[in-house]
Amino acid sequence: MADKKVGIKTNKTTQAGRPVYKTPDGEMVSEKSTTFKYKGQWINIPTIHKGYRYDQETLKKMLNAGIIEPTSTHKNEPSASKAARDRSDELTFNKGGSVKKKKTAGYNKGGMVDYRKSGLFK
């Protein structure tokens, strides 16, 4: 299921409340979005949840179970990929430990819901 642990959790969070992790290479990450077709639409979805990075097969199972939600949905791959790049480019760290985003229009809330109620993970 989980590909591997992302890194060490920091005291920083994104504007959506997602924790930021420092990878062994020193990179600060919170989402590492992936884009794929799901139920007729192209979606962007974080691959990092609860400190672990997941592959697309597991992400689809999590979507089907209602554990996670896309950050955005689109009619085609080019617009989905552009939205993922734009989202990544617009995130910046604040000194206060949070990540500030310059604009949020067009994005769903995305992220993680209570996985314990799904039955997928025990």
- For 72-112, the three-class secondary structure string (H helix, E strand, C coil) is EEECCHHHHHHHHHHHHHHEEECCCCEEEECCCCCCCCCEE
114 domain-assigned: no
Contact (CB, 8 A) for 53 and 3: yes
Report CA 114 to chain centroid distance, whole Å.
Answer: 15
Number of domains in the chain: 1
112 domain-assigned: no
**Within 10 Å of residue 54's Cβ, how many Cβ atoms?**
23
Is residue 59 packed enough to be buried (19+ CB in 10 Å), middle (13-18) or exposed (0-12)?
Answer: buried
Name residues whose C-beta falls within 8 Å of residue 104's C-beta, 6 or more positions apart in sequence: 15
19 domain-assigned: yes
* Enclosing domain of residue 66: 2-101
Residuewise pLDDT in 10s, the chain (122 residues):
556 899 999 999 887 778 999 999 999 998 889 999 999 999 999 999 999 999 999 999 999 999 999 999 999 999 999 998 888 777 655 444 444 444 333 334 444 444 444 444 43
